[in-house]
Amino acid sequence: MTQQEDGRSETEGRESASLVVMRRRREVLDHFGSCPACGYATHAFLVTTSYADGRTVVTTEGVCGLPCGWSGVIEIERMTTGGRRS
């Protein structure tokens, strides 16, 4: 086992680098996708994860609106574009 400059082992350094310090999940209200398992409408979420090493990762997550049990990574399908009306 090798030591880092701060005295921690290499394994300890990797573990602290991947330590989650905050996770925030926000629902995307104008998502209109469907469940790949049963075809029912899905709920979409943007998940922001912040790590102890300063990295921040944003992912998308979908959950079936029915109790079929499906959840997973999805592509957000928005009904609106967010532009201004004339």
- Does position 41 have pLDDT exceeding 70, yes or no? yes
Number of domains in the chain: 1
**Does residue 84 belong to any structural domain of this protein?**
no
Task: Say what the alpha-carbon torsion angle 54, 49, 75, 40 is, to the nearest 10 degrees.
Answer: 180
Rounded average pLDDT over 63-76:
91
Rounded average pLDDT over 62-74:
92
pTM for the model: 0.66
**Do the beta carbons of residue 64 and residue 37 sit within 8 Å?**
yes
Choose among 68, 61, 72, 69: nearest CA to 31.
61
Q: Give residue 40's domain range.
A: 20-72
**Does residue 14 belong to any structural domain of this protein?**
no
Higher per-residue confidence, 8 vs 82: 82
